[in-house]
Amino acid sequence: MQMPEYQWITSDSILTAASSLCANSPDGFVSAKQLLKLRQSFPEDQIRFLADQAKLRKQASSRFPLAADMLFTTKGLQQTTDAAIAKYKAELLARLAPQTQHVVDLCCGMGGDLQAMAHQFNVIGVDLDPLLCQVAKHNASIQSNHSVSTQNIAAENFDLDTDWIHIDPDRRSDGVRHTNIQAFTPSLSTLDELIQRVGKSIHGIFIKLAPATQVPNRWIDQCHLMWIQSRNECRQQLAVFTPKTQNSHKRSAISVQSDGQAAWEFHALEHDTSESADIPLHQGPIDTIFEPKPALLAANLAPTWAAKHNLTYIHSGVPYFSAQKPNPIPGGNGYRIVQQLSFDLKQLRRWIKQHDIGRLEIKKRGIDLTPEQLRKQLKPKGKQAITLIIAGNPRSDKQAVAYFAESI
């Protein structure tokens, strides 16, 4: 199927209809009356696309400041990089290789990363899906003064002539989401071939990966691995290859704000990281608890972070830590302990009722019950708010402990 079949997606009539439909459907719901009106001007496949825009623009509005002018597909929105992280990556690229003028985004999808890159560089997006090529070109062209084009071709077959490569390998080519790099498309051998170009025909490469993906050991010697979080979740792992990352053995956890700037960063060299066994168990009363944020956990940097800030485990092997002073620590959520109890549902339920708790945030590690199951059994019905932190370890004889706490 050739791209011309999808050129209608970016026609004036479709873009105008999409804007009008979304303006009149602020909740993302398209009424039967609106659909009937669309049928007077558009065929069914185009009507479905337009109706999707109303729903998807609404969903995307918290992730993309330009959502009102963008085009989306359901799968594309699920897989794309948020605007904030994309901006962070584009600005990181500009710092790493200021001489860069042109970027190729392989497996560009709907153009989340391509859009941010196009604000600073001339870009080409490459994708196997012709519809996504059209969508990505439209999205990347919004508020861009640089050259933007897309090509409907397999990443392996694209004739690269660029300064920098960004690639987001397809992790669902067979319909199942994978974290094993051996199941990605393009293949690991293709990724290795692209890496070999660094310092020769290109200045560098970004490889976007799932947070849980284990990279080959040979990559660790050549790249800087970053785990990037936004909106309180670790969203992606980024393998950064430049001539300067050779033998860097660097690992980082980064939190990106809505403006694309880093709220905090934590960096460590592979040979300077700590293991759980290196962190002592807290002795005596506990006044504060610190919970490492998602990027630190995904990067397996929580023990290293704890060691740097002189934290101790509150429960063996469970990533909740105690500090000597209740001062905020970048990369951690801090809590002041109000009450410590043994993990006993009857006892917890009684305390919640006595203290008129209704808004209950539940954090737990090392027990089988989910927060939803706990909430149902604890039945908070009052007016006050508090956080419940439960620390247990199924491999330890020590009983799980519950802490009612307030944010620092």
d(CA 2, CA 17): 24
d(CA 337, CA 401): 12
Q: Which residues pair with 264 in a beta bridge?
A: 255
Residue 226 scores a pLDDT above 90: yes
User: If you search the block for the tokens 């050739």, which residue do you land on?
Assistant: 2
DSSP 234: E
Separation in Å, CA 147 to CA 107, 123, 125: 18, 6, 11
SS3 6: helix
Q: Are 70 and 139 in contact (CB under 8 A)?
A: yes
* Average pLDDT over every residue of 194-210: 96
Beta pairing, strands 224-230 & 233-241: antiparallel
Beta pairing, strands 401-407 & 332-342: antiparallel
- The pLDDT value recorded for residue 388 is 98
Predicted confidence band of residue 248 (pLDDT cuts 50, 70, 90):
confident
Q: Taking the CB of residue 54, how many other CB atoms lie within 10 A of it? A: 20
- The pLDDT value recorded for residue 1 is 36
Q: Taking the CB of residue 118, how many other CB atoms lie within 10 A of it? A: 28
- The pLDDT value recorded for residue 354 is 97
Residue 337 scores a pLDDT above 50: yes
Count the residues in the chain. 408
pLDDT tens for 96-120 read: 999 999 999 999 999 999 999 999 9
The mean pLDDT of the chain is 93
Cis peptide before 186 (omega within 30 of 0): yes
pLDDT tens for 137-189 read: 999 999 999 999 999 999 988 888 999 999 999 887 666 777 889 989 999 99
User: If you search the block for the tokens 């956990």, which residue do you land on?
Assistant: 297
Burial class (CB within 10 angstroms; exposed 0-12, middle 13-18, buried 19+) of 89: buried
Six token digits for residue 120: 């600073």
- The pLDDT value recorded for residue 350 is 97
Residue 2 scores a pLDDT above 60: no
Predicted confidence band of residue 324 (pLDDT cuts 50, 70, 90):
confident
Beta pairing, strands 148-152 & 122-127: parallel
d(CA 361, CA 56): 29
- The pLDDT value recorded for residue 303 is 96
Q: Are 203 and 92 in contact (CB under 8 A)?
A: no
